[in-house]
Amino acid sequence: MYLKCHRRFKDGKEHRYWSIAEKRRCAGGRTVDRHVVYLVEINDRQRESWLRCIEAFDVPTRRQTRLALFPADRPVPAHAAEYGVQVKPGEFALRHPRQRGSCWVCCREREELHLDRFWRQRLEDSREGTSWHHVLMVLAAYRLIDPGSEWRLHRQWYEHSAMEDLLGEDFSVAGKDTLYRCLDKVVEHKDTLFSFLAERRMRAPEACSTSSGRPRAV
């Protein structure tokens, strides 16, 4: 983690706003900033204090090693002391739970409405490999499940959802600037989208009704 400076000019004066950010590694060797906390304007003393906090909480990168599992009632052999781990089911704990069911429903709903085909024809991937279609799916799921600001999606919601697994994407689709750029690309297709949805509704089979006016299952 590190302190990131955001410069703004207002009334002819430069203002410096700060946030705590971390680098997230994505496909292709790219990195995306994830903003953890927004600190607004801070003075030099506060800045030094935040730097000390970051150093205290920052976790060093650990090298991946092989792993061997052993039952709790069996000691780890001496030759596997460096990579052997005893499995104790009674001490298992749930960590980093993610919302999956509602995210899956959103993805299925888009398929049923043929929105995936509609947007793939209009949102081509960028030269850097960003899938704007997948970014839009994240935005749409967020608005349906737990609507809020794009900043909240970037900072909190995406990591607590299963969109990463469902789309086969990494954190790059939830980059702050990526989300805003996607919205700019979508707005020009607003009228076409409404016409497409209206046409889909007209073509869909109408539900049969009883004499009382209540819909009957078909």
Profile the chain (218 residues) by mean pLDDT over runs of 10 residues. 74 76 76 72 66 55 54 72 70 75 90 88 87 93 92 90 89 90 92 89 56 40
For residue 141, the model assigns a pLDDT of: 94
For residue 69, the model assigns a pLDDT of: 67
For residue 85, the model assigns a pLDDT of: 72
**CA 70/CA 87 separation, integer angstroms:** 6
For residue 109, the model assigns a pLDDT of: 87
Q: b/e per residue, 77-95, with b = 16+ CB within 10 A?
A: eeeeeeebeeeeeeeeeee
For residue 143, the model assigns a pLDDT of: 93
For residue 78, the model assigns a pLDDT of: 76
Q: Say if residues 167 and 137 touch (Cβ distance below 8 Å).
A: yes
The dihedral region occupied by 207, where left means phi > 0, alpha psi between -120 and 50, and beta the remainder, is beta
For residue 133, the model assigns a pLDDT of: 92
